[in-house]
Amino acid sequence: MDSNNNEDIYVKGIKEDKENKEDLEGLYDLAIPLSMPITVIRELVEKFDIEPVLRQAKMDMTGEMMNREILVLRGDLETVRAAEKYMFEALDRKLAEWNRGDKEEKYRKYYEEQARLRLKEVKDNPEAVSNWEISPQ
């Protein structure tokens, strides 16, 4: 399944913020920073008793204030504080994972193996090259 579909399915579960102010008493919002990995957001929703909600907020994105819909996770103060701490720890773990060199090594070995197999195929069957799909650059 493609990651865009996963995100679409996830976003459908997010409520619009149209509740009465009375319903919000005792609840706090944790604003999710732009570009927070969806995997981290999922972890937060699954691990903590917080609800994803879309809320209008004023933001300065281009040097001028504008209204924008943002994602917040809503819950009681203690839960929101714990979720905020966890969110940044999870983001640090994700960044460390992305910066590890082992993926680079894994993919380098994969591509070298694929290249070796292609060369062997060309040597064994030169006509096979005509069946290869080559994209224009």
CB 75 within 8 A of CB 50: yes
- State pLDDT tens for residues 64-84: 888 888 899 999 999 999 999
- Token pair belonging to 117: 């197999």
The answer to pTM > 0.85 is no
Closest CA to 50 of 19, 77, 10, 21: 77
Q: What is the overall mean pLDDT for the chain? A: 79
pLDDT at residue 29 above 80?
yes
Query: What pLDDT, on a 0 to 100 scale, did the predictor assign at position 12?
Result: 46
For helices 3-12 and 38-47, the axis angle rounded to 10 degrees is: 40
d(CA 52, CA 29): 9
Query: What pLDDT, on a 0 to 100 scale, did the predictor assign at position 110?
Result: 84
